Amino acid sequence: MTQRATVVGAGIAGLTSAIALAESGYEAVVLDRAAGPSDAPLGLAITGNGLEALAAIGLRGEVERAGVTTRMGSILTDAGTTLMAKTQTGAGYIVGIREGTLLRILAERADDLGVETRRETLVRSDADLPETDLVVGADGLRSTVRRWIKPRVQPDYSGAACWFGISDALESTPEFVTSWVGRGTEAGILPLDNGAFWYISAIDRQRGPSTAGDDAAAAEAAQLGALFEAPLSAHISATTSGTVTRQPLFYLPTGLPRFTSTRTGMPTLLVGDAAHAMVPSLVQGANQTFEDAAVLRVLLRDEPDTETLFARFNEERVQRAQRMQVRSWRAIRWMQATHPVTGAIRNAVLKLTPTMAAEILTDWHGRWVSPDAPR
C-alpha cells in the first residue's frame, strides 16, 4: 500500500523533501500559504557538502548547469586591503545560483515525480492536514508545525540585519566570491547566473528586529555600501531600488534534542529552517537543508519503520546541523566585530592564516558523509 506524506511549506526545504519522499515511493502533497514561489532577490552559495547532498537526490548536475561555478575568493578590509588572498587550489568550490532558478528546478522535478503542490492553503493546526502517514514541517523560521510539537522553541534575534539585492553582472563583478569586513559590518559579492548577488550584514541597534520602514532599504544599503571600496557600491547602484531588501537575522536555539515527534499522533519531522535556522555567515542554511533531504532519501530506502527512521534521522542530523548553527553564530560575531581591538585581531589572524590552510579547514568543516557511505 502506498504511503502518504504531507509536506508543509513549498520553499527549498519543502520541495527537496518532497522529491526525496516521491523518489522513495511516497505519495507526497506539498501545502503552502503563498500564491506562488518566493520572488526575493536572493542568491545562494551552494558549497561542496550541499552539492554532494544534491547528488544523492539526483539534482547536482542540473543545479551546476543552471548556476555559476566559482570558488572562495579574497577577504578584504572595507578599505580594500587584502587580508586573505583568493584560493589557489580546487578547494572552496561553490555554485552561485538565484533562489528563483533553484526553486524552478525543484518544482519541475517534484512535478515530474507526481508531487501535488496546493497553493494558498493555510495550515493552522494538524486538523488542516489531509489524511497522511508522515508530516514534514518545512515551513521556515516561524514554523507552525514546530509550534505543535516544540511550542517553547522560538527564534532569537541575532542583533544584526542584512541588506541584499541582485544586480546585472558588471565589469567589476569578481570571478570568485569576494568578502569585505569592517567595524560591525561584513559584505560580499557572489557571481550568479546572469547577474551578481551582493549583501551587507551589520549590527543594527537602531532598528533591531523591526521590519517597519523597509521602503528605506535601498538608501540604507547605499549609505552602508559607501563605507566599502568601489566594487560593492557599484553593484548597489546598479540594483533596482525597489528590489533591495533588508532582513533582520534570526536563528533558532540549538537545544532541540530531536527534529522528530509523534506528539500529535502523526509522525512529524522538521527540516530546514523549521529545525535549524542559522545566521548566514557560513552560507550553510540551504546546504544543511539539502543534507536533510539527502539523509531522508537514504533512510526511507533503508529503514522499514517510522521509529527506526526517526532515530536514525536524529542521529545523522541533530548534532551535525546544530554544530553548523554554533559555528555560524561564532563566525558572525567574529567577522562583524564592533570593538576596534577585536577587529584588529580578526584582521591580523586572517592576514596571517595561509590561504591553503583556510581552504582545507573550510572544506573539512563542511564535509558531509551520506549515511550509506563507509564510515
Largest CA distance in the chain: 64
State the Cα–Cα distance between residues 265 and 134, nearest whole angstrom: 10
CATH number at residue 126: 3.50.50.60
The answer to the question of residue 172 being in a domain is no
CA distance 276 to 279: 10
Asked if the structure places residue 118 within a domain, the reply is yes
What's the full length of the chain, in residues? 375
Q: pLDDT above 70 covers what percent of the chain? A: 94
The whole-number average pLDDT for the span 286-314 is: 94
φ/ψ region of 30 (left if φ > 0, alpha if ψ in -120 to 50, else beta) reads beta
pLDDT at 51 over 90: yes
Residue 214 in any domain: the answer is no
H helix count then E strand count, the chain: 12, 15
pLDDT at 216 exceeding the cut of 80: yes
Residue 152 grid coordinates: 517553547
Residue 29 lies in a domain: yes
Per-residue buried b or exposed e for 171-195, using 16+ beta carbons within 10 Å of the residue's own CB: eebbebbbbbbbbbbbbbbbbbbeb
Domains of the chain: total = 1
C-alpha of 32 from chain center: 19
For the residues 170-180, what does the mean pLDDT come to?
Answer: 94
Q: What is the pLDDT of residues 118-160, one digit of tens each?
A: 999 999 988 899 999 999 999 999 999 999 988 889 999 999 9
Question: What average pLDDT does the segment 156-180 reach?
Answer: 94
pLDDT digits (tens, 9 = 90+) for 246-299: 999 999 988 789 999 998 789 999 999 999 999 999 999 999 999 999 999 999
Task: Give the model's pLDDT for residue 185.
Answer: 94
**pLDDT score of 370:** 87
Mean pLDDT of 90-101: 88
Which distant-in-sequence residues (6+ apart) come within 8 Å of 37 by Cβ? Answer: 10, 11, 100, 103, 104, 107
> What's the pLDDT at 214?
63
Tell me, yes or no, whether 333 lies in a domain: yes
Pick 117 or 375 by higher pLDDT: 117
Supply the pLDDT for residue 28. Answer: 97
Full residue range of the structural domain in which residue 320 is found: 4-156+251-366
Report the candidate in 290, 291, 289, 313 with the shortest Cα–Cα distance to residue 301. Answer: 313
Under the banding of pLDDT at 50, 70 and 90, the label for residue 375 is low
User: How far apart are the C-alpha atoms of 179 and 176, rounded to whole Å?
Assistant: 10
Mean pLDDT over 49-54 rounds to 96
By the 8 A CB rule, do 137 and 261 touch?
Answer: no
321: in domain: yes
For residues 9-17, give the mean pLDDT.
Answer: 98
Q: Which of 109-118, 202-211, 354-363 has the lowest mean pLDDT?
A: 354-363
Residue 362 has pLDDT above 80, yes or no: no
- 296 domain-assigned: yes
User: Comparing C-alpha atoms, which of 132, 127, 143 is closest to residue 14?
Assistant: 143
Has residue 212 got a pLDDT over 60?
no
* Domain-embedded: residue 211: no
Residue 213 has pLDDT above 60, yes or no: no
- How many other CB atoms are there within 10 angstroms of residue 340's CB atom? 9
